[in-house]
Amino acid sequence: MTPAPTFTTPAWNTIDTLLLDMDGTLLDLHYDNQFWNHRVPEFYAEAHQVSLEDARDVVHQNFHRVAGTLDWYCLDYWQNTLKLPIRELKRQFIDLIQMRDDVPPFLKEARAAGKRIVLVTNAHPDALALKNECTQLATWCDEQYSTHQFGACKEDQLLWQRLQRHVDFNPKRSLFIDDGEPILDAAHKFGIAHLLGVANPDSRLPFKTFTRYPSFDNYAALRPIMSPL
């Protein structure tokens, strides 16, 4: 197996725009993993009067069915499919919503260096609003976009085409950071020149291994960020 490219600090003078994922990249993925993988099956078992084991099977089969599509990230889809008040249930665990400690210093420096900071998340707009409500994330971003407004998720080339037309970023002078390798694959196919993976999206789980892209586990590794030459 070919080893993943070695991580090196980005050549910041070649980068104007930061395209940043949200969950697992700027925010700790622990909240989402806990909610979807553990709490939702529990709620499903209680609401539909089935065993927890059966509930896990139903929920995970439904997850698998739409993985990699916009439905996977859609709160309306899951409320209708699982017959659960997903939006209300998500609010029961908002104490778990946390920004990564290493993110604010990185974004502060990026802004001081004149980089354009664009959040691009597959999360539903209501999920994005909840994360903004519980963190200071919006204050660090120049722009925020849910892929739902473009009708396609980041795994789909259609998203990148529509996003580029709307945001008008230069793929050759952009850095995209995400915790999902298939999503990085899609960005690479579109032509984004600088790609990085986040090795520790969930602070409570073991590190991930990226096979096709360099990855890092602390944003301090990306600093210092130099102003464009």
Tens of pLDDT, residue by residue over 123-163, are: 999 999 999 999 999 999 999 999 999 999 999 999 999 99
> pLDDT band at 2, cuts 50/70/90?
low
> pLDDT band at 227, cuts 50/70/90?
low
Summarised one tens digit per residue, pLDDT across range 4-24 is 789 999 999 999 999 999 999
pLDDT of residue 180: 97
Summarised one tens digit per residue, pLDDT across range 26-66 is 999 999 999 999 999 999 999 999 999 999 999 999 999 99
Question: Is 60 exceeded by the pLDDT of residue 228?
Answer: no
Residue type at 175? L
Q: How far apart are CA 119 and CA 98, in angstroms?
A: 16
> What Rg, from alpha-carbon coordinates, does the chain have?
18
SS3 117: strand
Domains for the chain: give ranges and CATH numbers.
12-28+99-222 (3.40.50.1000), 31-95 (no CATH)
Q: List Cα–Cα distances, 8 to 149, 205, 214, 215, 223, in angstroms.
A: 34, 24, 8, 9, 11
pTM of the model: 0.96
Q: What average pLDDT does the chain have?
A: 96
Share of residues in the chain with pLDDT > 70 (%): 98
Task: With beta carbons less than 8 A apart as the criterion, state whether 17 and 169 touch.
Answer: yes
